[in-house]
Copies of this chain bind each other. A is one copy, B any other.
Amino acid sequence: MDANLIPNVSVDCVVFGFDLNTLNVLLVERQMEFEGKAYHDLKLPGDLVRWDEDIDHAASRILYDLSGLKNIYLKQYHSFGAVNRLRGEVRDLVWLRSIDHPEERVITVAYFSLLNLTDNTSNQYILQANARWIPVSSLPRLAFDHSDIVMKALENLRDDIKQKPLAFELLPSKFTLSQLQKLYEVVIGTSYDKRNFRKKINQVNYVVPINEKQTNVPHKPARLFMFSRDIYEKTRKDSFDFSV
């Protein structure tokens, strides 16, 4: 090992998308020839950081190239820097060589991003042809250490959604309380009593009922709500919750 070698730096993005029912993650199909046969599996969207770009900019660039979207929620949450993180499987090395990527050491800075998959406005993205939405609950084994990177993103999302208004990045701008409850249940991986959940939400002044109901639903249409960031910013407190 040459002491003067410098680890490469990359950025990987875990894009979560919610469709009112399932939490999904956006993955990219990796195709190669392996052991004489066509082989494909899934990896996170990512790229090396360019010499002249900030790491936050690299993350925005990767998301834009993948989806055509700008200005979506994006949070850096962890960097992964184990020495052998790219060298878990022979197929990982084969693939790195096929795309002329440094196969030795790469430290990656990971970001997660939140997208609602129902709102008309944000529905108008165009995915790269090799991109796939895969439910978090049925993820296959991913390339490299990318399964670990997704799991850590999910942990961070779970922590954050308990104390920050992230839910509203994953919901359409107008939503029902059942949809809000479903989102919390899917992200946190639990279920809540409907009455208790509503009692809790009723005490939250930044989730505001509006004078509209659902349309085109087979059941009795439910009242719609909106999130008020103004009210949230003005009323947040430095409270803390020992019970978590």
Contact = CB atoms under 8 A, between A and B. Distances in A.
Interface of A: 1-3, 5-9, 49-56, 76, 78-79, 81-83, 105, 107, 109, 159, 161-164, 184, 188-190, 200-201, 203-204, 236-244
B107 A81 contact: no
Contacts of A189: 238
A237 to B, nearest CB: 6
Query: Main SS of the interface on chain A?
Result: loop
A192 to B, nearest CB: 9
Identical chains bound together, number: 2
B51 A5 contact: yes
10 contacts: A3-B50, A6-B51, A9-B107, A52-B83, A55-B107, A162-B241, A201-B242, A203-B243, A204-B243, A241-B244
B244 A107 contact: no
Contacts of A107: 9, 49, 55, 109
A200 B81 contact: no
A6 to B, nearest CB: 5
A6 B3 contact: no
Given A163-B240, A188-B240, A241-B244, 18 more contacts: A2-B51, A7-B9, A7-B49, A53-B83, A54-B82, A55-B81, A56-B81, A76-B78, A161-B240, A162-B163, A162-B240, A163-B241, A201-B242, A237-B243, A237-B244, A239-B243, A239-B244, A241-B241
